[in-house]
A and B are shown apart, each in its own frame.
Chain A
Amino acid sequence: MCTALSRGPVPPPGGGSVLLDFIQQVVGGIALGCVYGLIALGFVLIYKATEVVNFAQGDLMMLGGFFAYTFIDQLGLNYWIGFALAVLAMAAFGSLVERAIVRPILGYPQFSIIMVTIGLGFALRAVVGMIWGTDDLRIDTPFSSGVVHIGPLVLAYDKLSVIVATVLLCGGLWIYFNKTRMGIAMQATSQNMLGAYYMGIPVKRVFSLIWAISAAVAGFAGVLLAPIAFIHTNVGFLGLKAFPAAVLGGFGSIPGALAGGLVIGVAETLSGFYLPEGFKDVAAYILLLIVLMVRPEGLFGLHLRKKV
């Protein structure tokens, strides 16, 4: 075992390697799953509070990465300051989007809102491409290089940072939604906007706030992803992979988003490793369809009966 430890990422030959391969794949899957979970978290937040599904979440994440690039690489700020600034800028952008685009169509059928966020995604991708160009950008982060050895397993810093950050964020947001006044007000708003308004909840402010939080989470994810996936306009498409994660976890559940992300991530890496080529890209969607058929409310979703 000690020799394996010093040898780094090369898997040791011999009988134990099949199991070790499997575990290494699972760990890689967990890291990937945390990325999906982090993006899914953004979907879940907005859905939980406003019952709007934000298809532009992946593109918000991309924008966060570009903000970080501007602050850290172009303005030469310290990584942590740039990180914080990017997250703050995203929060401001999120509430701006809510005010300008989402609020006018509140109360209309959900399909309108879905299409508006899809349109927003298109526009963001195009505008970002025009401003920052379409080359792969990268920023230097403290997590860009280096690996951790846990027994014979190898885990890169960048992946580890995503895992830790996701778990912390999920925990924090779960506490916020279940223990604080504002968080509970947000849940009430999502269940019945008018009812919440009668109870004295500032519904409009709740909406602004939740879009700010969700965009900030997206910015957070964008910065953390920078060492793993580069900064590029197509990063937004990762958002589409995170959808199955959110659905799997039941759209309105914060721990569910994380769990769904993990399931999708592990399924994707395992099918990439053991199944023929091509299954890796669709594993998430096949899993999604199966779950939707068997248990449409997701693994952690509330089971609600229809009432007439």
Chain B
Amino acid sequence: MRPIFQTDYDQDIRLMRHRGYWWSYGTLLLLVLLAPFVVGSYLQSQIVFVFIYSIVGVGLLILAGFTGQTSLGHAAFLAIGAYTAGYMQRLGVPFLVYLPLSVILSGAVGALVGFPALRLSGIYLVIATIAFGFIIEEVAARWESVTNGNDGMRVKPIEFFGVTLGREGYGFYYLCLGLLMLVLLLALNILRSPTGRAFVAIRDSEIAARSIGVNLAVYKVVAFSISAAMTGLAGCLYAHKLSFISPEMFTLLLSLEFVIVILIGGIGSLHGAVLGSIFVVMVDPFLGYLKDDVPRTIGKLAQAFGAANAGAIQDTLSAIGGAAGLKGAIYGVIIILFIIFEPYGLYGRWLKIRLYFELFPLYKKATFRRQKTYLKSERNR
């Protein structure tokens, strides 16, 4: 265990607590920078999705994880960012102009949503954001002069000072990486500033926050707006990555996917957004693996052991692996298991493992036990 000798109050909020951070994050950055030259094009494309989902995850974490305002309508902000990008590109606006524009527009809509959200909490807020998501989805389908309706909209590759960044190319990869790092830095800086501490105060107790002078209205709207703006940025990248957008992409299911990102990654830390995104993005390749490789391997094994119905076994397994709702089932089961057994997510598991080795013979399970409250009714809070 590394004892950290504190000599300065600023040490508590420093970005890099000690030199170990420089080494570990430096190595990570180096790995991510080199990754496109090592991994294949499919994996590279998946990593870009991880970056985009992580940006949304960071935005959602600021709102749900740090301010305590749950949103199940973030797909709508993503849609606003994506459609702004698509429409502006069609009008001939350059990338450097419409990227900030989609951020600003989503942020503004986020602030608008934040105002009614001031009066809502808990379940009502969840339902209101779901309703908002449905309305935006319907607007995207009906406002045909801008969004092209259900036919969808093609998005051309990014033009950047005469250079074209194809959606599969290295340029786009590094653009997404750079923007993700920017968003992470921004989020870290917000969270260690008075604004971020106000967010956490609101999450932990609105009444206490108000009584020490936190203006609830202002900070809630700010949190919504920052979160939406980050999601809008991700939306712009998402549109370029997919090169085609249509309203049925931005459904409640996508909003749920974002919540799953932070839930599985861990709600208490920004690491969670990235870990959760890796998980959610890699579910698809994993399903493909379940569908093709696992049955084949087991079929071969069965053949090797001389089972007569090896072919039938293989077919049954690939039928299970290829069943239509498997992704939904896996999501469902994973959400349930994580909430019951691993409420702090993947990052929480990492913390537990690290603490176990740091305190080796003295680790106690109770360190991470959650507090249960049977007393409070959220209805009269």
Contacts and interface: CB of A to CB of B under 8 A. Distances in A.
A278 B138 CA distance: 7
Interface residues of A, number: 58
A281 interface: yes
B40 interface: no
A288 B127 contact: yes
Contacts of A244: 127, 131
Given A101-B340, A105-B339, A122-B329, A115 B259 contact: yes
Contacts of A278: 138, 141-142
Given A107-B373, A115-B339, A282 B123 contact: no
Contacts of B132: 285, 289
B336 A111 contact: no
B335 A116 contact: yes
Contacts of A252: 379
B140 to A, nearest CB: 11
A289 B128 contact: yes
Contact of B375 (A101, A129, A130, A192): A192
Nearest to B128: A292
B324 interface: yes
A122 B335 contact: yes
Nearest to A103: B340
A125 B256 CA distance: 15
Contacts of B141: 278
Interface in B84-110: none
Given A119-B336, A122-B335, 9 more contacts: A101-B336, A105-B340, A108-B339, A110-B122, A126-B329, A233-B325, A251-B123, A292-B120, A293-B119
Interface of B: 64, 70, 116, 119-120, 122-124, 126-128, 130-132, 134-135, 138, 141-142, 207, 252, 256, 259, 263, 320, 323-329, 331-336, 339-340, 343, 370, 372-375, 377-381
Interface of A: 51, 53, 101, 104-108, 110-112, 114-116, 118-127, 129-130, 134, 190-195, 197, 233, 240, 243-244, 247, 251-252, 277-278, 281-282, 285-286, 288-289, 292-293, 296, 302, 304-308
19 contacts: A106-B372, A111-B70, A114-B123, A115-B259, A119-B336, A125-B332, A126-B328, A126-B332, A129-B323, A192-B375, A193-B374, A194-B374, A195-B375, A243-B127, A243-B130, A252-B379, A277-B142, A288-B128, A296-B120
